[in-house]
């Protein structure tokens, strides 16, 4: 994107404030366009003849620096690339790294189906959402087209995940594609030897294609060749070498490609990048006694390239000690650094509270909220939890910064109609907000009890302090 502020975007909009886009002003729409929360098509006047020239120019200027490529179909489809900045703090990264876990065509059918199910069903609750992985890579180990195709068919029967078909043999890829061409798989990979066959396959089946070469001039040349032939859904693999100087050079290649695409504006190489951390298994071996070391190194390499700049990666270890840190890092890197992770303010019921149950108060900073909620619910304390809008900031900082104060407690009590449900007019505020207790009593007319500084101590606190005289 070559525009740096909503005002710059606004100059290309009709400027009539007609509200057809659902926003009150063109400037508000401009701001949402920059955030990618609205699309140009949502401004119908922009497509009228008198604004068409501006609209066309705006589409060009808003296009992300790195091309966005999608694999899979329906709800499971995953976008990759589409980034505008080298560093997350400059704005945000938009499409999180797509995590792909492998199966291979020499696996026994039962083992294959079981692994596919495990990958598809894996999830882990983290800060209010279930983390999942994204796709399955099917590797040709047999080198046999028919064996590969049968494996692809079985995987497709077992999962609706996007697929990555892996072989340098075009015939093998073609047989596999015949089974799943309607699911928009990514094919992996064309190189300097097989590119003509892969180009033909990508055109015929209309699927995204990976180009492989550790030689960046060759990689650029392949990308220009495919692009000139009308193939734009391209993913680049500059090779992932898992140790020593090879790893250092791999890292350097990823950075150079991304810099060329974003900072230098070289469109010929501005495509999503794929890393293959599972190459760690080539070094550490696949024997059972080496599996721990291999999965450890795979996770380390994955972490490196999640940060710089893999848009998609192929991994092998589905063990929690490897998968959890990798997926958690993705969750953390691909949040908007300008906004704290927050939850909706409101009044939550925990268990089966009555009008005499305690009313706990917390902020809408997601980490705080989920910690408090979990501490209360896991101890089976039937209660209400009033989540106050602190602009997504934790208790201590929000008290210091003024986002949490007596007025915000009063606003929350009123807007969530707490008195309709809680009849004792006693609230328990976090220990870290103790200094607000007196003023809050004055402003709200409620009795304020100061709870523990750590919500893990709520059960012990309850034994000593609940019910107070105001409730019993
Ligand atoms: S529809 Fe277009 S012209 Fe109308 S307010 Fe929205 S941005 Fe402005």
pLDDT (tens place) for every residue of the chain, 472 residues total: 778 888 999 999 999 999 999 999 999 999 899 888 899 999 999 999 999 999 999 999 998 999 999 999 999 999 999 998 888 888 788 899 999 999 999 999 999 999 999 999 999 988 778 999 999 999 999 999 999 999 999 999 999 999 999 999 999 999 999 999 999 999 999 999 999 999 999 999 999 999 999 999 999 999 999 999 999 999 999 999 998 899 999 999 999 999 999 989 898 899 999 999 999 998 887 677 788 999 999 999 999 999 999 999 999 999 999 999 999 999 999 887 777 788 999 999 999 999 999 999 999 998 899 999 999 999 999 999 999 999 889 999 999 989 999 999 999 999 999 999 999 999 999 999 999 999 999 999 999 999 999 999 999 999 999 998 877 6
From residue 265, give the alpha-carbon distance in Å to each of 129, 237, 273, 461.
Answer: 36, 19, 16, 59
The Cα 195–Cα 170 span in angstroms is: 9
51 lines ligand 1 (CB under 6 A): no
The minimum-distance atom of ligand 1 relative to the CA of 24 is: 5
Of 12, 19, 40, best ligand 1 pocket probe by most atoms within 8 Å of the beta carbon: 19
Tokens representing residue 314 in the block: 């192929």
From residue 91, give the alpha-carbon distance in Å to each of 300, 328, 336.
Answer: 26, 21, 8
Which pLDDT does position 261 carry in this prediction?
92
33 lines ligand 1 (CB under 6 A): no
43 lines ligand 1 (CB under 6 A): yes
- Tokens 């960046």 belong to residue: 216
From residue 198, give the alpha-carbon distance in Å to each of 170, 202, 210, 372, 467.
Answer: 6, 6, 9, 54, 72
* 189 CB neighbour count, 10 Å cutoff: 25
Å from CA of 88 to ligand 1 middle: 30
Domains detected in the chain: 6-62 (1.10.15.40), 68-333 (3.20.20.20), 346-465 (3.40.50.11600)
H/E element, 216: helix 216-228
Q: Give the residue from 175, 172, 153, 152 showing the smallest Cα distance to 164.
A: 152
161 lines ligand 1 (CB under 6 A): no
The whole-angstrom distance between residue 127's C-alpha and the CA centroid of its chain comes to 13
End-to-end CA distance of the chain: 62
Beta strands in 298-345, from DSSP E residues, in sequence order: 312-315
What is the gyration radius of the CA atoms in the chain, in angstroms?
27
Q: Give the residue from 122, 123, 114 showing the smallest Cα distance to 158.
A: 114
The whole-angstrom distance between residue 256's C-alpha and the CA centroid of its chain comes to 24
17 lines ligand 1 (CB under 6 A): yes
Q: Give the residue from 367, 370, 411, 371 showing the smallest Cα distance to 388.
A: 411
Q: Mapping DSSP to helix (H, G, I), strand (E, B) and coil, where does residue 296 land?
A: helix
Which pLDDT does position 232 carry in this prediction?
95
Which pLDDT does position 334 carry in this prediction?
86
The whole-angstrom distance between residue 169's C-alpha and the CA centroid of its chain comes to 32
From residue 47, give the alpha-carbon distance in Å to each of 41, 43, 468.
Answer: 8, 8, 65
Specify the residue with its C-alpha closest to ligand 1, atom 8: 26
Specify the residue with its C-alpha closest to ligand 1, atom 6: 21
Which pLDDT does position 171 carry in this prediction?
98
The minimum-distance atom of ligand 1 relative to the CA of 22 is: 6
The Cα 431–Cα 433 span in angstroms is: 5
Å from CA of 86 to ligand 1 middle: 31
The answer to whether 106 and 115 are in contact (CB under 8 A) is no
Of 7, 10, 21, best ligand 1 pocket probe by most atoms within 8 Å of the beta carbon: 21
Specify the residue with its C-alpha closest to ligand 1, atom 4: 18
Q: Give the residue from 181, 78, 173, 174 showing the smallest Cα distance to 132.
A: 78
The minimum-distance atom of ligand 1 relative to the CA of 25 is: 5
């Amino acid at each position: 994107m070559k525009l740096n502020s909503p005002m710059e975007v606004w100059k290309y909009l009709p400027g009539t404030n007609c509200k057809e886009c659902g926003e009150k002003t063109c400037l508000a729409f401009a701001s949402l366009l920059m955030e990618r929360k609205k699309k140009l098509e949502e401004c119908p006047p922009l497509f009228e003849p008198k604004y068409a020239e501006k609209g066309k120019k705006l589409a060009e200027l808003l296009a992300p620096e790195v091309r966005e490529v999608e694999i899979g179909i329906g709800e499971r489809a995953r976008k990759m690339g589409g980034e505008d900045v080298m560093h997350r703090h400059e704005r945000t990264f938009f499409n999180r790294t797509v995590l792909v876990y492998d199966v291979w065509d020499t696996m026994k059918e039962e083992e294959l189906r079981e692994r596919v199910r495990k990958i598809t069903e894996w999830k882990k609750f983290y800060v209010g959402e279930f983390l999942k992985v994204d796709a399955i890579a099917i590797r040709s180990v047999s080198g046999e087209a028919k064996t590969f195709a049968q494996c692809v068919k079985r995987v497709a029967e077992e999962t609706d995940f996007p697929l990555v078909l892996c072989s340098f043999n075009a015939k093998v890829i073609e047989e596999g594609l015949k089974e799943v061409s309607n699911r928009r798989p990514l094919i992996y990979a064309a190189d300097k030897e097989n590119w003509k066959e892969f180009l033909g396959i990508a055109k015929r089946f209309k699927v995204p294609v990976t180009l492989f070469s550790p030689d960046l001039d060759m990689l650029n040349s392949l990308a220009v060749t495919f692009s000139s032939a009308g193939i734009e859904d391209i993913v680049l693999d500059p090779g992932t070498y898992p140790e020593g100087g090879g790893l250092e050079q791999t890292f350097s290649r990823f950075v150079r490609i991304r810099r060329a695409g974003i900072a230098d504006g070289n469109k010929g190489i501005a495509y999503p990048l794929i890393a293959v951390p599972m190459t760690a298994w080539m070094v550490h071996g696949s024997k059972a006694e080496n599996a721990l070391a291999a999965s450890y190194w795979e996770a380390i390499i994955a972490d490196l390239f999640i940060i710089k700049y893999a848009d998609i990666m192929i991994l092998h270890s589905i063990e929690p000690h490897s998968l959890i840190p990798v997926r958690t890092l993705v969750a953390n890197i691909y949040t908007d650094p300008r906004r704290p992770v927050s939850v909706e303010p409101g009044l939550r019921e925990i268990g089966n509270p009555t009008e005499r149950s305690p009313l706990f108060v917390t902020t809408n900073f997601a980490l705080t909220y989920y910690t408090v909620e979990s501490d209360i619910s896991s101890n089976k304390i039937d209660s209400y939890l009033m989540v106050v809008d602190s602009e997504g900031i934790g208790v201590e900082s929000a008290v210091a910064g003024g986002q949490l104060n007596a007025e915000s407690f009063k606003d929350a009590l009123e807007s969530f109609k707490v008195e309709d449900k809680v009849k004792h007019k006693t609230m328990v505020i976090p220990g870290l907000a103790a200094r607000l207790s007196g003023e809050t009593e004055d402003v709200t007319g409620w009795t304020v009890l100061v709870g523990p500084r750590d919500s893990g101590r709520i059960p012990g606190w309850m034994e000593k302090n609940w019910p107070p005289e105001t409730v019993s």
